[in-house]
Structure 1
């Protein structure tokens, strides 16, 4: 470990995408911090990454719904991370969200409230020191609400708007804020879903895209560029026609 070694913090470090992000940065020599709810699961991931790459990997317990714990969590991070990636997410079940307010609240809080609150606190610390990069993993589902997943989509729409505002707040203060939209990704969260090959990325592909994004200047990144065109078309459909599609 050297004083010049950069540090990555992954929120949602045991998710498929979080793990892929950690591997991408570790392979480039970055120190890695993994945060998540299960210390046991984090330990397994840390051991695997450390063995494969030889970089220091630490584990940190964080429940994104326990917002009162955020300040202590951030105070305990040493050193302060140079890049923070929020890979927290919960697809949930749309049918349950329509009939069970508690489930809907969990979807909203996991995908929007928790990540937004902690990233706001992280941004304040980065702005104070004049450097840092934040990557929020949002979703194309937030670009337009659809009947099949509007609870998840609404939460991601809020998160996308939050990241846009945070980016505006941080502009000119040495802090980069990136909105990443993966589209379909072959993960445990999408297991069993019929995923179109052309539009579906692998977790490693997302991890590499995030690493490249932190070295560039783009504000909004679609992992597969075709999603930009797909969503432009979907968002351009008149509301009267869109209601009949039942997507």
Structure 2
């Protein structure tokens, strides 16, 4: 039974790692490049579970060699800050909306303005740099020195560092929700519909239907969240995805 259990878990991890291996190899990274991030992930989880611990106890908890624990802890294990453009959009919707609709903001000047909003999110990045990212992504437009929010979500350019940050944030939270449901019992909504025997055209047609409905749901949630206080300690993420490929 134990052998079967180990084999089952091995198959599970292999399936989970395949998309990550595809991403790494697609960006020119090999196995050696992903070893340290995997070790770092084990350390992060061990510190979450064990609290502040010695290097030796973390080594025992993770199975890592003590010298790796010392080195990685010295490098720092702090999580990356959320995407700055995404935070600007979120804060804009929460702070500057009327009847659920975002209000245009002056580009410069004291609050309420885009400049003030951007500086509240990142003081070490010039507001113009953040504005250019949002304009390039089609999230905002600028006319007569006024900035208008066009989308309730920031969609970064293909292959950009911002898109990779989004990928990490979304997969992390989806994975965290699914794992929590397995380890702690059902807590977070996690459902999917899957079918086979379709053509690519049929799959794309279903994808368009799902995307339209999903965007409506996200808009409703966004409008409700914008009307909430927004100063509590809890962050949330709701999302959806669609995927199709040839195969069973």
TM-score between the two structures when normalised by the length of structure 1: 0.25
Higher relative contact order (CA 8 A, sep 6+): 1
Higher helix share: 2
